[in-house]
Structures are given as structure tokens and as C-alpha cells.
Amino acid sequence: MKKTSTVGKPNRTVMVLLILGLSTIIFPLYMTVVIAFKQPSEMTNSISGILSLPKVWSLQNFREAMEITDFWNSLKNSLLISVLTVGLSILLHSLMGYTLGRNKSSKFYNFVYLFIVSGMFVPFAILMMPLAKQTAEMGLANWFGVILLYVVFYMPMNIMLYSGYLTNIPLALEEAARVDGASTWLTYWKIIFPIMKPMHATVAVITALAVWNDVMTPLIIMAGSSENTLPLAQLNFQSQFGTNYNLAFASYLLSLIPILVFYLICQKQILNGVVNGAVK
């Protein structure tokens, strides 16, 4: 009997799961766009009223949202915090990951690695009030203090990613560099750091997404200051008696654009990092 090849044919179960997974992304995005363009008078209690398209596609909600949130100033603060956090994380965490990853055979370095990575299991709620008091006493209750805390908070995960990625980089490259007279620092900066470019992109996107969307850390640390990040400014849409969903969703779409563009730029490098990390 002639066998039928199934290579290249999508599995029906897989297709169903993909469609279900896609719907969980498309539907919330559709609701966000529709509500952002609607007027409050179009928001009814019926399902059809909520799901229906706007009668008039107007940018009025976006203009009002930008005024209420002081959009450009809040965007500047969010970009400043995110860019500096990502830059410091890539420089410091990659160096620490390289040092710890190449010396795991040492009991001391292995202990330091496990100690740092264990920080992933410490909930922020436990550290919240002590950090708020400590940063205030040290004069760090500002965007600079927030950046320092972010660099520390994401250190465990990033070091684990970098040290794991190092297993795909052969030691022969470093040994050849040392034979040519390169120091450890020169070997890292000229050889290892460029090779880890895909992981840099992965760490950058993961860290940037976490920082960009974070509300609690700036709210606790920067409380009382006149500077707001975009997530903090968007709290203005929530009051004791309700939420202006039309303006809030318009503001959410505006804040989504920069981080979405950043992800699209780094997407190719992230895929390379996943592939290189999977093949030994």
C-alpha cells in the first residue's frame, strides 16, 4: 500500500490551538482599538453596543488623553528610565553572567550565582516599604533611584539568561585570544560581548517590557515628585467613582506604540537567540 506523507501538513489539533491562542490576542486588541475611538455615549450595557464599531472614527479621545497625561513629558521620563535601565542591564549583567558562567566549577562562584538567582523568588511586596524608606533617606526617591532598583531587580533573571547562553560559546575562542596575548577584559569585550548579541536583544526586550509597564516601583519610590511615567500618568483616568475607559484605552494604545516598535526592531535577534540557545 502507498503511504501518505504527512510532512508539511498541519495537524488539526495544532491548528485549533493556534486559532484559540490567536483569538486571545486579537479579541483584546480589537476591544482596545474600538473603545479608544468610541465616544462615551456609544458605550452601552449591551454586548452588541460594546463590540460594535465606532459610529465616527475620531482622534478626539487621543488628543484629550495626551493632554490629561502630559503625554510628551511622561513619554520622555519613561523612555529615559527604560533606555538607561536596558543599557546598564546589558553592560553589567552580561559581564556578571560571563564571570559567573565561566567559573561555575568553583564553589564560591557557584554559590554567588545561586544566591543572586534566588532573588527571583523574593516578592516585591516584601521589599516595597523598606525600599521606599531607604531610598528616601538616601536621596534616591527619584528616577535615578528607580533605575538603580530596576537594574538590581532584573539582575537574577538576566544573569541566568547570559550564563546559560555562554554554554553555546566554545572556550576555544577565549583560549585562542589568550594565546594571542589578549587580557580577560579584552577577550570579553572584543569576542564574547559581540557574540552574545542575540541574547542582548532578548534581555533588552524582556527588561524594557517590564520597566515600561511597571506601575508599582515608580509609584512607591517617586511618590510626591512632580515627575510621572506613562503608567503613572494613566492612573489619572481612574477615580473613586469610575474609570473613563475611552480616554484610558486611547492612552494605552499611545503607550503601546514605542515598545511595539522596539520589539519589531529586535525580533530577528530574539529569534536567533532562541535558535542558538536550543542547538548545542
Instruction: Tell me what pLDDT residue 270 has.
Output: 65
CA distance 62 to 189: 45
Scored b (16 or more CB within 10 A) or e, 173-193 reads ebeebeeeebeeeebbeebbb
Quote helix, strand, coil % in the chain, to nearest 5: 75, 0, 25
pTM for the full model? 0.82
**Spatial separation of the C-alpha atoms in residues 137 and 186, rounded to whole Å:** 39
CB 251 within 8 Å of CB 65: yes
The answer to whether 94 touches 193, Cβ cutoff 8 Å, is yes
Q: Is 238 strand, coil or helix?
A: strand
Residue-wise pLDDT for 79-118, tens only, equals 999 999 999 999 999 999 999 988 888 899 999 999 999 9
Neighbours of 240 (CB within 10 A): 4
- Those residues of the chain that have pLDDT short of 50 are 1, 240, 277-280
